Structure 1
Amino acid sequence: MKTIDRGSAGPARVAIVGGIHGDEPAGERIVRRLADELDAEGDGSSDGIIRLIIANEPALAAGTRYTDTDLNRTFPGDADSDEYERALAPRLAAELEGMDAVLALHTSHSAPPPFAIHSGLTPSVRRTVTGLPVEHVVDASGLRGTTLDSTVPHTVSIEVGRQGSEEAVDFGYEACLSFLRAHGALADEPPTFTPTTVIEGEEEVPKGGGEPHVHYVNFQEIPEGAVFAEDDVYTHRVTESGVVPILASEHGYEEIFGIYGRVTGTLEPPESAVPNREGDITNTAGKRAE
């Protein structure tokens, strides 16, 4: 694990994590670019910090998702484990302790558009999500509890694009700048906040064996009675209206075709909000916004 600290234009302590999965090199490339371009000292007038982390260096070097076990399925981990990623998880969490906002970078084999993921809505998470240039956010609080965003407070994950594409690197870099502006860590231009459609993740869609086929892309509503995905073991036919796929992919995951979700509403930006030191949202009248 490599940690690089840079100065902040504001008081918030924020972090960006790339390279959680070794077969997703875009995150490492984005972090290194940010490290090269951000000022090591910030503006010299705040105690804020921008922490940049490259998480799983051995897996990145090998070009594999992980060395022993999936890092993003092992939190909070075990420092005494013989499995590299299980022992790495608490070390990574320690580097993020006390952060007011964390952004974790990912890519996938599923189709665009990029989207955000959170596992618990805090004022800081609201600020991150609505400050990112994405139209959708997945509420994953009802799914796995062993991911970085489900165990480290104020963490948002972002799927920046298709794995291995230059578009993912370019978009992810711009998304990181938006994240830093949203929390006052970068003052080159004002942040932009927009409402974001919320998709509640409901259940994983299992994969069996043989040749897989996926018939609908991310966030495309699957008609009642239609087949979402199938292989030699499963035929997943949707039995009710309003279901949309998340992380839909034929070959991106060994055990699942993706996740079933449902649009549940819109996450609105904070009103007249500025970030305070704890990463919460306070409006201009001093009242805490929920």
Structure 2
Amino acid sequence: MQTIDRGSAGSARVAIVGGIHGDEPAGERIVRRLADELDPLDETTEDGSGSAGLVRLIIANEPAIAAETRYTDADLNRSFPGDADSDEYERALAARLAAELEGFDAVLALHTSHSAPPPFAIFSDLTESVRRTVTGLPVDHVVDASGLRSTTLDSTVPHTVSIEVGRQGSEEAVEFGYEACRAFLRVHGAIADEEPTFSETTVVEGREEVPKGGGEPHVHFANFEPIPEGAVFAEDDVYTHRVEEPGVVPILASERGYDDIFGMYGRVTGIVKPPGVGENRVYPIDEEDDAEGEEGSTGGDDGSEDDGKRGGAN
């Protein structure tokens, strides 16, 4: 694991993690680009208190990156909170990585996949910091993964959002991921190149994984595309997955992205509103919009977080 600390324009402590999976090179490339561009860390403020903000950049699984494989012993993003004494490299690494992120106000974890666009975010606990992140990222959808695994980075490290930045191995994923990281830093006040922009983000609840058997796989619907009732989402020589209820959409839909699943089923549950607009919760799509101060509040913001928001309860 490589940790690179850089300075921040604000007081928040934020982190970006790339290279969780070694066969997803975009994350490492984005982190190194940011490390080259961001200002060096000034470890003390003018009064000598040393309480200035911090941008921590992490390249997580260096052995897997070198081997160009997803992991060496165990999937790192299925190994949290980890065990520092484990003989499995990634399980021990998970504990070290979680320690590096302890006490941070916002964390963004970078991923790519073989699934179809568009890029999207993932959260497990909607803290005020997570709300700021997901409504400030250039994505239309965020997956609520709170009902899925409890062994991922975003399910164990507070204020963490994961983002699928694009197709694995593509230059488009690198460029989009870089711009998404700049937006993340902007909305948490870590860079001040321009005003941050916020927008409502559609929430899709992750429901269940769709198993894959063997033979030639076929996926018939892309990420977040509504699957008509009675239609076949995916099939191979073992399974034919026919959707028997309305309102189901695919997440991480892919024919060859995973050995054992076609992706997941999800359901659109509502929207998350930008900071300062209504409550920090998921608003059902058809709910009457009665939030105070709604008009004109989805554009520029000062990008700062007050002390009551930073490090809030899970």
Q: Do they fold alike, i.e. is TM over 0.5?
A: yes
Structure 1 counterpart of 2:306: 276
Structure 2 counterpart of 1:220: 225
* Residue 174 in structure 1 maps to residue 204 in structure 2: no
For residues 247 and 10 of structure 1, what CA distance do their matches in structure 2 show?
35
Q: Deviations over 1:241-288 (max 9, x none)?
A: 00000000010011110010001111100117741246549xxxxxx9
Amino acid at match of 2:39: D
For residues 181 and 40 of structure 2, what CA distance do their matches in structure 1 show?
17
Alignment check: 8 A CA contact 1:12 1:277 kept: no
Structure 2 counterpart of 1:139: 144
Structure 1 counterpart of 2:160: 155
Alignment check: 8 A CA contact 1:100 1:278 kept: no
Identity percentage of aligned residues: 80
Q: Deviations over 1:40-92 (max 9, x none)?
A: 13696661100000000000000000011100001111111111101100000
Alignment check: 8 A CA contact 1:12 1:279 kept: no
Alignment check: 8 A CA contact 1:11 1:277 kept: no
Structure 2 counterpart of 1:36: 36
Amino acid at match of 1:14: V
Structure 1 counterpart of 2:134: 129
Amino acid at match of 1:276: D
Structure 2 counterpart of 1:16: 16
Pairing 1:1-290 to 2, within 5 Å after superposition: 1-41=1-41, 47-271=52-276, 274-277=304-307, 279-280=309-310
Q: Deviations over 1:190-212 (max 9, x none)?
A: 11101000000011111111111
Amino acid at match of 1:168: A
For residues 258 and 115 of structure 1, what CA distance do their matches in structure 2 show?
14
For residues 40 and 195 of structure 2, what CA distance do their matches in structure 1 show?
21
What secondary structure is seen at the aligned counterpart in 1 of 2:183? helix
For residues 196 and 280 of structure 1, what CA distance do their matches in structure 2 show?
21
What secondary structure is seen at the aligned counterpart in 2 of 1:275? coil
Alignment check: 8 A CA contact 1:245 1:259 kept: yes
Give the aligned CA root-mean-square deviation in angstroms: 1.7
Query: Structure 1 length as normaliser, TM-score?
Result: 0.94
User: Where do 4+ consecutive residues of structure 1 move more than 6 Å?
Assistant: none
Amino acid at match of 2:20: I
Alpha-carbon spacing, 1:254–1:119, altered in 2? closer, same or farther (3 Å): same
Amino acid at match of 1:153: P
For residues 306 and 188 of structure 2, what CA distance do their matches in structure 1 show?
9
Amino acid at match of 1:174: E
Q: Which deviates further from its counterpart, 76-85 or 170-179?
A: 76-85
Alignment check: 8 A CA contact 1:112 1:218 kept: yes
For residues 90 and 163 of structure 2, what CA distance do their matches in structure 1 show?
21
Amino acid at match of 2:30: I
Alpha-carbon spacing, 1:245–1:252, altered in 2? closer, same or farther (3 Å): same
Amino acid at match of 1:108: S
How many residue pairs match? The answer is 283
Structure 2 counterpart of 1:284: none
Amino acid at match of 2:18: G
Aligned-pair CA distance for 1:232? 1.2
Alignment check: 8 A CA contact 2:12 2:310 kept: no
Alignment check: 8 A CA contact 2:5 2:41 kept: no
